[in-house]
Structure 1
């Protein structure tokens, strides 16, 4: 959502940690160290699949290439992997070096990861062979059962399963809640980190609406601590403030969604929000210079807490810069030098890769083009996700193009039939709720998710605002969402 003018703004761990690996030393009768050691870990596990990792340490002479072999003992089937060339023949799995990580000096280590299916048991391999030489093994237990009752254990760990979001027990879940704007603009304007209070009382007020999700927009320059941002509102100070808000959201049983809203890169073309190269407005696409680093940092920060959801980029609009819709969708997925955009673009695939490259398996949301209002070719250009944990994001306001049931039936329903669909922002600038009532009914009828914009005390006609006070007093617009959530969730 584009924001009210600055003058208006001025006036107005139930988490499951990834299981660590413990190397079990294997020594000979004479006490000699093993030729190599392998740490094997199951970093996450769900109904019929799991993500695993191996860390190989070479204790002998330097190698110019390597190949690790081990045997699955529980009928597991390899589906994909990274940082190695993975293959499986029968029960034997082989991971051979890539061109960039073949050299393995004495004492050096290399890590690689994979996704596999399992049924019955997920037994840990008992022997590993590096270039034919036996290594020691690291044996660890299966992952601790994940929390499923947010009232008792905090928010659930969510996963895309077909076209549903499910928890660890396989129960269908919906993200129903609000946006908490501020973290995307206050810092870059030198006025703080959040707009209004984010203390426990204000977060508790959100939970009082029976919301189960809070989306938190962020600014990449503030998170990365670039020199243009006041240090008081940047880098570690900014990150710690975000982590603190995430913890408060979780403490009240709600799912935190961290989302990249404002980014770097100068764009002065059609529908430009500003002429500034810095992250001071919504840009048509994220930038390659900083956004992959932003997501790698965010993912590393939260990868051990899979209750946190990642929303890659607020409202892409490459369609306003390119001459064809095909070009826009290609830019959206692949990035690069996109027509009409003067900076190198990071596509959705780049951002998925940045997150997954850290080992994070958190649920990812990816919004379409036309300010996330157009999902007509989302399935065609869907990014590849090695963790298989990707959902579509969509935004709608009464003034958008796709703002009627005919459009929803033709463009949203096919997406929702294949992947989870989350309306990351719903709202209207009428200071009423007649439009979002229609949206919520359409989504309710299909068991889909939606979040109202926004939990801030703005003039609702300048930027749809749900509240007039941070104690949860609703505007006329907010009353519609509040009463509906309370009716749904009791």
Structure 2
């Protein structure tokens, strides 16, 4: 699915009228030294705006890069900042280190400032996180599920049995839930790792919809820590953030699906999303240069945890580059030098081999061509999987070619009769849910899996958004999925 454009921070011009200073002190419950300390100060205010600063102290092991997050209230919007790379998504503000101030030894501090707009009120942030760790408080113990907490039911290790997904006891399981977009685009745009909060409360809100699965789109350059990505959002920092989100998803009893969304490789042909060689948009196919290494690394990271599902590549569209559908499916499976694509392609067989070469036996999903909307020859060209744990993935929106019951009966039903079928993305751009209601009914009638796009607070002009707030408040579109999930799993 396409994503909203990067917002541009506006410079504030004019004199700043300082009218006093407000500082939020560091307080802990027991008086113990917190893992990190943040002092937030409002150093000046004027009609419609204010100036502030943060002073960050690292009280744990030294770090080579840092990223601070907190939330604005009262509709406040970041306008400009210094001594950090500042950004805002929704209410969440992120300040990441510059190249010259990334290292923070134990006990070391760093300060950064900003200017923001305000419409009313004097609310100040009450919670700060440094590299995902809550500051200004004693170290938080891991939550222990209570007797009625849904987290007491751990997600299952899934395997393919015929055309069903089953758990270790052989019980049929369905993947029903949402996508959590952000990890594929924020890092490559230099704005952070995730779009909006990924704290425990925001993940619990997904579980409260009675979802049992969360799909997490990723960026291969960010995971591999390539030189074009800000180090604060790359390599170990990125991987640890993904691992932390996976752990939170599991803690609430949901299956995490890690999925490769954006990849390296320059493509300027038909339906190109961008002309950039870097992983800044959807490419027609994965690249041989980096994608096998990405999947080997991801598989090594999660191979000891078979509850994690691997979705090989978001939305292949080699059919837009090749002259024939047969060429497109050959490119999809075998990769190599594909007609119309200027870089060496990693085919689905290459990616399956990369995962299985690590010893990982996790469930793998593979989407078809035409942005994963065409599965008409999936069975003919499906890659060989020595672990026998491969399922078909499919995406559908109201504007896709295969978007009616007739097409589903003719092209999806034969696939679903032989292998498990997962609709990794369902959505519509109408700000309503009439279309996905039809999709969900067709899949429910056959006991199949589906995941709504997307658990992000965008508007309809940017793409289907399930929520208007990360507390789980649904949009008109999201109401359809929420009510269906609660009816099925409530």
Establish whether TM, by shorter chain, passes 0.5: yes
2:284 pairs with 1:277: no
Partners of 2:415 and 2:75 in 1: how far apart?
33
Q: Quote how far apart the aligned CAs of 1:143 are.
A: 27
Q: Secondary structure at the match of 1:304?
A: coil
Q: Which moved more, 1:117-126 or 1:146-155?
A: 117-126
Q: Which moved more, 1:194-203 or 1:11-20?
A: 11-20
Q: Which moved more, 1:118-127 or 1:422-431?
A: 118-127
Partners of 2:129 and 2:345 in 1: how far apart?
42
Partners of 1:12 and 1:23 in 2: how far apart?
23
Q: Quote how far apart the aligned CAs of 1:32 are.
A: 57
Partners of 1:182 and 1:127 in 2: how far apart?
21
Any conservation in 1 of the 2:465–2:475 contact (CA below 8 Å)? yes
Partners of 2:323 and 2:394 in 1: how far apart?
23
User: Superposition pairs for residues 220-369 of structure 1, below 5 Å?
Assistant: 220-369=220-369
- Residues 76 and 178 (structure 1 numbering): CA distance in 2 closer, same or farther, change over 3 Å? closer
Q: Quote how far apart the aligned CAs of 1:90 are.
A: 65
Deviations along 1:171-228, one digit per CA (max 9) or x if unpaired, are 0000000000000000000000000000000000000000000000000000000000
Partners of 2:456 and 2:316 in 1: how far apart?
23
Partners of 1:390 and 1:14 in 2: how far apart?
60
Q: Which moved more, 1:163-172 or 1:81-90?
A: 81-90
Q: Which moved more, 1:184-193 or 1:58-67?
A: 58-67
Any conservation in 1 of the 2:158–2:307 contact (CA below 8 Å)? yes
Alignment gaps of 5+ in structure 2: none
Partner of residue 441, structure 1? 441
Q: Which moved more, 1:133-142 or 1:267-276?
A: 133-142
- Residues 232 and 98 (structure 1 numbering): CA distance in 2 closer, same or farther, change over 3 Å? closer
Any conservation in 2 of the 1:43–1:143 contact (CA below 8 Å)? no
Partners of 2:192 and 2:98 in 1: how far apart?
45
Q: Quote how far apart the aligned CAs of 1:460 are.
A: 2.2
Q: Quote how far apart the aligned CAs of 1:5 are.
A: 2.2
Deviations along 1:413-465, one digit per CA (max 9) or x if unpaired, are 00000000000000000000000000000000000000000000001232100
Q: Which moved more, 1:239-248 or 1:143-152?
A: 143-152
Partners of 1:306 and 1:16 in 2: how far apart?
56
Partner of residue 465, structure 2? 465
Partners of 1:103 and 1:302 in 2: how far apart?
29
Q: Quote how far apart the aligned CAs of 1:242 are.
A: 0.1
Q: Secondary structure at the match of 1:23?
A: strand
Any conservation in 2 of the 1:16–1:306 contact (CA below 8 Å)? no
Any conservation in 2 of the 1:148–1:156 contact (CA below 8 Å)? no
- Residues 390 and 115 (structure 1 numbering): CA distance in 2 closer, same or farther, change over 3 Å? farther
Q: Secondary structure at the match of 2:470?
A: coil
Partners of 1:322 and 1:29 in 2: how far apart?
63
Deviations along 1:32-53, one digit per CA (max 9) or x if unpaired, are 9999999999999999999999
- Residues 360 and 88 (structure 1 numbering): CA distance in 2 closer, same or farther, change over 3 Å? farther
Q: Secondary structure at the match of 1:370?
A: helix
What count of residue pairs does the alignment treat as equivalent?
490
Partner of residue 151, structure 1? 151
Any conservation in 1 of the 2:55–2:110 contact (CA below 8 Å)? yes
Partners of 1:362 and 1:14 in 2: how far apart?
57
Partner of residue 89, structure 1? 89
Alignment gaps of 5+ in structure 1: none
Q: Which moved more, 1:53-62 or 1:381-390?
A: 53-62
Q: Secondary structure at the match of 1:62?
A: coil
Q: Quote how far apart the aligned CAs of 1:3 are.
A: 1.1
Q: Which moved more, 1:217-226 or 1:129-138?
A: 129-138
Q: Quote how far apart the aligned CAs of 1:2 are.
A: 1.2
Partners of 1:36 and 1:457 in 2: how far apart?
29
Partners of 1:301 and 1:412 in 2: how far apart?
33
- Residues 78 and 340 (structure 1 numbering): CA distance in 2 closer, same or farther, change over 3 Å? same
Partners of 1:378 and 1:138 in 2: how far apart?
53
Q: Which moved more, 1:128-137 or 1:387-396?
A: 128-137
Q: Quote how far apart the aligned CAs of 1:136 are.
A: 56
Q: Secondary structure at the match of 1:7?
A: coil
Deviations along 1:75-126, one digit per CA (max 9) or x if unpaired, are 9999999999999999999999999999999999999999999999999999
Q: Quote how far apart the aligned CAs of 1:152 are.
A: 2.9
User: Superposition pairs for residues 420-459 of structure 1, below 5 Å?
Assistant: 420-459=420-459
Any conservation in 2 of the 1:428–1:464 contact (CA below 8 Å)? yes
- Residues 107 and 314 (structure 1 numbering): CA distance in 2 closer, same or farther, change over 3 Å? same
Any conservation in 2 of the 1:178–1:453 contact (CA below 8 Å)? yes
Q: Which moved more, 1:63-72 or 1:162-171?
A: 63-72
Partner of residue 44, structure 1? 44
- Residues 469 and 322 (structure 1 numbering): CA distance in 2 closer, same or farther, change over 3 Å? same
Deviations along 1:1-44, one digit per CA (max 9) or x if unpaired, are 11122239999999999999999999999999999999999999
Q: Quote how far apart the aligned CAs of 1:338 are.
A: 0.1
